[in-house]
Amino acid sequence: MPVHNGERYVGAAIDAIRSQTFTDFELIISDNASTDRTREICESHAAADNRITVVRSATNAGAAANFEKVFALARGEYFKWAAHDDLIAPEWLSRCVEVLDEDPTTVLCQTGVLEIDEDGRVVREIRPELPSVASTDPITRFADLVLIDHVCLDVFGLIRSRALRETPRLAGYIASDRVLLAELGLQGRFRQVPDRLFSVRDHAQRSVRALPFHKRARWFDSKVRSTRVFPHWRFYKEYFVLVHRVCPRPSERWRCYGTLCRWPWTNMNWARLVSDLLIAVWPEASGRLERSRRAVPAG
């Protein structure tokens, strides 16, 4: 659980994990230099439960580094990033472990998803967005993950640690979670337990609400100073880089490249590439574009 200034919700998120019916787990909490009561809350839980370890950074290194820290410290066969403001039902872990145990071709398992508000009230069901990620064909899975406008909630699924170690994981650029999921999709299948056991909390301080898309670079990496980050161009390039690195057979590689050539013309992604250029020369355009869109851009 990577966290920064999460005092309002982190206690409930930890309680949900401690209440899992599958009890053989470790919870590693990395406090990214919080200035509120986050550390105190987390350490009180650690004192009551020896499965919990709390580590703390003296300075805020950004979300990507904090996500990487908890994975580097993890020892389990399976791994989950747990957001400090989301909740999982008591059966979430046992149901996902069961799927991964039964099917070695599956690299990631998630359950059905509910959206809740800041007070925990259910707002809506988030319907499955990726119909072909359970396919046995890696290029079909890859196409789903790069061409469909999805919200990347699978990054909070249960993942095989072995598969995750073979990736660069989350990097210090905007939307690197999209690139990570695309790479995992080339490694193996994604499966979903249909029961709605995962609740994602929408609130004003959530990263996708607090910052316009083009201004999230420092959330990923605190060392970023430039406002000219060209995020869509960056992760579009990274898709090509991962295909070259991951696909050993030329036939698979060229099928992936063919999929990527479709990307600019899908969901009007060409307009997002243009927006990067526009914002680079007119930074004030970022807020106007965000207000007109009010959605996380596609990857």
Which tens digit of pLDDT belongs to each residue from 84-102? Answer: 999 999 999 999 999 999 9
| pLDDT tens digits, one per residue of 168-191 | 999 989 999 999 999 999 999 999
User: Rounded mean pLDDT of 251-270?
Assistant: 97
Enter the pTM of the model.
Answer: 0.92
pLDDT above 70 coverage of the chain, percent: 93
pLDDT of 219 over the 60 cut: yes
Q: What is the DSSP letter of 29?
A: E
pLDDT top residue among 222 and 29: 29
Could you give the domains of the chain?
1-85 (3.90.550.10), 103-189+202-299 (no CATH)
Residue that the structure tokens 């910052």 belong to: 211
Contact 174, 217 (CB under 8 A): yes
Q: What is the mean pLDDT of the chain?
A: 92
Instruction: Supply angle C-alpha 292, 283, 153, rounded to 5.
Output: 55
Query: How many angstroms separate the CA atoms of 92 and 87, rounded?
Result: 10
d(CA 29, CA 15): 13
For residues 71 and 79, the answer to whether their CB atoms sit within 8 Å is yes
Q: What is the CA radius of gyration of the chain?
A: 19
pLDDT exceeds 70 at position 71: yes
| Backbone angles phi and psi of 77, in degrees to 5 | -65, -35
